[in-house]
A and B are shown apart, each in its own frame.
Chain A
Amino acid sequence: MNLVFYSGGTEEENLEVDEECLHLLDNPNPTMVFIPSSSYDGEYEFRHFVRHYQTFGITRFLYFPVDVPQDNVLLKEVFQSDLIHLDGGNTYYFLNCLRKRGYLAFLKEFALSGGVLSGLSAGGIIMTPNIKTAGYPDFDCDENEDGVTNLRGMNLVKFEFFPHYKNSLRYDRELRKQSRLTKNPIFALPDGSGIIKTEESMQFVGKAWCFHQGVKTLINT
């Protein structure tokens, strides 16, 4: 299993996470799949994604929006690729689309069979046991316009992921509170930071904090 969690931020801020991510690939000419959180402007996000990873010498990309029907040909190709990237956006909408079309099981299978699965923000949250972190704090959360009630994620790891974290009292107050309500540790990462999780190890890139049972700990500097 090779998982990469991106918190967010600019392309420059994420270069280190990108490099660690690309190290996980064992194909010298890999195919990368971009899955946007919605197809509304997904093609433009895809363009940004391609332009960025082209700078690392990657030349093969697939675009796979999940809120529109897809044929089996592209579907099979996607799950035979080397890396699937779940992009950022509204976590509820994204999860709902993935679940409705039955892609969550495919993605889990992909990750468990050795494919590299990366998730940015919402995409990363979906890889965890649940997507509760998308719902707080009130001042910086996703809106659940679609009324999604099943908040279970892919459960690929035993932690929860809180992206775009800002080291401040008002975030901490909420995170300490929420960490008391879950048995999982919550890893809170500011933009530019990331987590690389393999079968054997877990590595943090950039600053990272852990909130567990109301306690905040700096786990990487």
Chain B
Amino acid sequence: MTRLKKNSLKRLPEEGGFRPTSRTYSKFNRIDGRHPFQKATKDSFVAYRARVRHGGEVVAFNFDLAREMGLIPKNHPNVMTDELKDAILDTFAIVIINEYDQINNIEYPKEDIKPHFYMATRYLQLQHPNKQGKTSGDGRSIWNGYLESKNGIWDISSCGTGATCLSPATHIQKKFFQTGDPSISYGCGYAELDEGVSTLFFSEILHKNQVTTERVLGILKFPDGFAITIRAHNNLLRPSHMFNHLKQGNLEALKMVVDYYIERQEKNGVWTDMPREKNKRYDKFLEKQTEVFAKTAAKFEDEYIFCWLDWDGDNVLMDGGIIDYGSVRQFGLFHSEYRFDDNDRYSTSITEQKNKAKYTVQNFAQIVDFLKTGERKPLKEFAQTGWSNEFDRVFEMSKLKNLLYKIGFNKETRDALVDKHYELVKDFQKVFSYFERAKSVAGPKEVNDGITWDAIFCMRDILRELPQLYLSRGESISREEFIEILKSSYALEEDLALSSYRKKRVDEFQVLYWQLIKAGATIKKSTINTVLLDITMRSSVINKYDRVTGDSITTITNMLMEKIDKMAPEKLYRLLHNFSEYQNLDPDTDKNLDKNQWRKSQLMRGFLKVVREYREGL
């Protein structure tokens, strides 16, 4: 039983007599394989015919995203009408007619064959034998097309639509595979349902927390148990879409892809200040990409997002967005030594992501020079050119601002603190980092999918509690109390010893924290208590006790998989909506959730327990 609020909940559209007309789902017809990339570029994709894949069911549909994309009307309820289901299946339940089918003269009914070509795009991938990207790209995905709406242009691609000639398996085994070939897993061209569900939940949560990412529009399931995951984003190009041409010295193709990318960013209103002159545009392109990747690397590090950035530029989008959630994780603590074991190699660690991002920009610098001069100079020549300093500057500034955000300062104060109290913020960052990076005396250890070395302190907890305690007491807390709040479940007794050095660091942390608060009060022309209270409220959201980790998403996906067969898409959507809103830790947005709804769902109650249980994990 609860108090009624003045600002009543923004209701989600419900069924309420909604009747689709013949035009309601007409936008789906525009998604037919055709895409401007096909005309704007060369040597950048393999075109495939596609046919209807029968027997599909809609497991999930992201109504919020569909409305945002303009794919369904704004007033469309969160209801899977028969007409909507048909539109989804007609558009996305497809499988390519691949090389194996053609070589073996496999015939399909004419009426099943789609009228237009779909593209599997070419890009560089480190797991391919050819390190120039001559044979790699979308191994089990195709691009369904694009959609132009008031909210910009959206690229739409699907994973699990058949084996293409660009999968690693084709080139390692030197043969074309039949789609669904059970002798080979990844190379068979199909996708697993749990991959899609996991991506759906993880990406939607990160999206709500202002992390740029691909999003899942829907998931289809087929009688053989495999699935198609439909993904959408404003621009699905990855750095690796350029790096293949760069490595091959294919200037013409490279230029086309870069030009295409710049134009799309302009059309989407993301880049509004691009010069008209060609070379200046490329310089600006490098400037933008430097900023994007420096900010992205800082964000990943500060939000403990592990995304396996690497030299091929494959696991990230050009705009820094996350794509392919296979190895993506969000840690509860700063487990900076975790490495994913990908059978034949270990991944980068979270702290190495910065240099990988920087290396990616170094490639952009090489690209720009190549485009401007027509001569491809060695990559190492671009290691220390102007962009490099700019990358370091943006990275450092982003790290400082991210830290101030996590403390709970609003944007205006963050900017002013970095501007006017740079040394103070920097000093605080150092001491913060000392605790954040502290590791257990137990040393490195193996975990089920890699190796790690446990972090021992939960910085989110201290940032959440400190302003409240300062507000209540008006003074610092004791060193013992500080460690009591900070300690995580990973910490052993020896890890928590208060050595004279650590005592000094605890004191330093508190002195600098107070100075930041005082500086914030001066900037805001308000009292220390007002600033502490504001920070208390913001920090309680940002550093909420429960935050999802990669492990919790995996467990939640497993729980869902047990029930998903009998779950209507509407119900899955409600779970997605409520769960992602509950995990929306952005203090500047209002949550749109019904206070008591979560308790009515046994699954949702289970999700919350899982998040709590795994909150400090990997």
**Complex CA distance for A68 and B543, rounded to whole angstroms:** 13
Q: A60 contacts B4, CB within 8 Å?
A: no
B1 and A89 form a contact (CB under 8 A): yes
Measured in the bound complex, the distance between the Cα atoms of B5 and A120 in whole Å is: 13
A68 to B612: give the CA distance in the assembly, Å: 8
Q: Judge whether B1 and A73 touch: CB under 8 Å.
A: no
**What 1/0 mask marks residues of chain B from 95 to 128 whose CB sits below 8 Å from any chain A CB?**
0000000000000000000000000000000000
Beta-carbon nearest neighbor of A163 in chain B = B1
- Please indicate which of the listed interface residues A39, A43, A142 has the most CB atoms of chain B within 10 Å of its own CB: A43
1/0 contact string of B455-475 vs chain A (CB within 8 Å): 000000100010011011100
CB of A65 within 8 Å of the partner chain = yes
Whether A8 pairs with B5 at a CB distance below 8 angstroms is no
Q: In the complex, what residues of A have CB within 8 A of residue B481's CB?
A: 73
**Number of residue pairs spanning A and B whose beta carbons lie under 8 angstroms apart:** 124
List of A residues within 8 angstroms of B477 by Cβ: 73
User: Quick one: which of A70-105 are within 8 Å of B by CB?
Assistant: 71-74, 77, 81, 87-91, 93
Kindly provide the distance from the CB of A38 to the nearest chain B CB, expressed in whole angstroms. Answer: 8
Q: Are B3 and A61 in contact (CB under 8 A)?
A: no
Report B-chain residues with C-beta under 8 Å of the C-beta of A204: none
Does B5 lie within 8 Å of A10, measured CB to CB? Answer: yes
When the two chains form the complex, which single residue of A47, A59, A60, A89 contacts B595, counting CB atoms closer than 8 Å?
Answer: A89
Q: Judge whether B345 is part of the interface by a CB distance below 8 angstroms.
A: no
State A83–B416 Cα separation when bound (angstroms).
Answer: 36
CB distance B472 to A121 under 8 Å?
no
Q: Are B3 and A59 in contact (CB under 8 A)?
A: no
Residue among A81, A89, A122 with most chain B CB within 10 A: A89
Distance, CA A31 to CA B591, complexed state (A): 27
**Known A73-B465, A73-B485: A91·B1 in contact at CB below 8 Å:** yes
A residues within 8 A CB of B1? 8, 88-91, 121-122, 125, 134, 142, 163-164
Task: Decide if A9 is an interface residue (CB 8 Å cutoff).
Answer: yes
Are the CB atoms of A61 and B485 closer together than 8 Å? no
Closest Cβ neighbor of A68 among chain B residues = B545
Task: Please judge, given known A-B contacts A44-B591, A89-B596, A145-B599, whether A31 and B3 are in contact too, CB under 8 Å.
Answer: no
Cα distance A69–B600 in the bound complex, in angstroms: 23
Decide yes or no whether B2 CB sits under 8 A from chain A.
yes
A62 interface residue per 8 A CB criterion: yes
Q: Does chain A have a CB within 8 A of B582?
A: yes
Q: Which residues of B contact A93 (CB under 8 A)?
A: 599
Q: Specify which chain B residues have a CB less than 8 angstroms from the CB of A195 in the assembled complex.
A: none
Verify if B74 is at the interface (C-beta below 8 Å from A).
no
Say whether B472 contacts A73, CB under 8 Å: no
A18 within 8 A of B: no
Residue B419 CB within 8 A of the other chain: no
Q: Does A109 belong to the interface (CB within 8 Å)?
A: no
For B542, give the chain A residue with the smallest CB separation. Answer: A43
Chain A nearest CB, measured from B574 CB (Å): 15
Number of chain A residues close to chain B: CB under 8 A: 52
B536 CB within 8 Å of chain A: yes
Q: Choose among A46, A60, A61, A125 the residue with the greatest number of B CB atoms under 10 Å from its CB.
A: A60
Does B87 make an interface contact (CB < 8 A)?
A: no
Which chain B residues in 533-548 approach chain A with CB under 8 Å?
533, 536-537, 540-541, 544-546
The distance in angstroms between the C-alpha atoms of A89 and B2, with both chains bound, is 5
- Give a binary string over B571-600; 1 marks a CB under 8 Å from any A CB, 0 the rest: 000000000001000000011010110111
Give the distance in Å from the alpha carbon of A6 to the alpha carbon of B4 in the complex. 12
Contact A43 B541 (CB under 8 A): yes
A87 to B595, CA, bound (A): 12
Task: Write the nearest CB–CB distance from B135 to chain A, whole angstroms.
Answer: 49
Interface flag for B388 (CB, 8 Å): no
| Interface flag for A37 (CB, 8 Å) | yes
Contact across chains for A59 and B530 when beta carbons are under 8 A apart: yes
Kindly provide the distance from the CB of A203 to the nearest chain B CB, expressed in whole angstroms. 20
B533 x A59 contact (CB < 8 A): yes
Task: Determine the chain B residues whose CB is within 8 A of the CB of A63 once the complex forms.
Answer: 468, 536, 540
Residue of B nearest to A62 (CB): B468
Quick one: which of B432-470 are within 8 Å of A by CB? 461, 465, 468-469
A72 smallest CB distance to B (angstroms): 6
Interface string of A29-58 (1 = CB under 8 A from B): 001000001111101101110100010000
Q: Which residues of B contact A65 (CB under 8 A)?
A: 545
Q: Which residue of A lies closest to B470 (CB)?
A: A60
A143 at interface, CB cutoff 8 A:
yes
The docked-state distance in angstroms from the alpha carbon of A146 to that of B609 is: 13
A140-161 interface code vs B (CB 8 A; 1 in, 0 out): 0011011000000000000000
Other A-B contacts than A73-B477, A143-B599, 12 sampled, CB-CB below 8 A, are: A12-B6, A37-B2, A38-B599, A46-B540, A47-B537, A60-B471, A61-B533, A71-B465, A73-B465, A73-B484, A89-B2, A120-B2
13 A/B residue pairs, CB under 8 Å, sorted by A: A9-B3, A10-B3, A43-B537, A46-B540, A50-B533, A61-B468, A87-B3, A88-B1, A88-B3, A89-B596, A121-B3, A163-B1, A164-B1
Counting from the closest, the 6 A-B pairs by CB-CB distance are: A88-B2, A121-B1, A68-B545, A43-B540, A73-B481, A59-B529
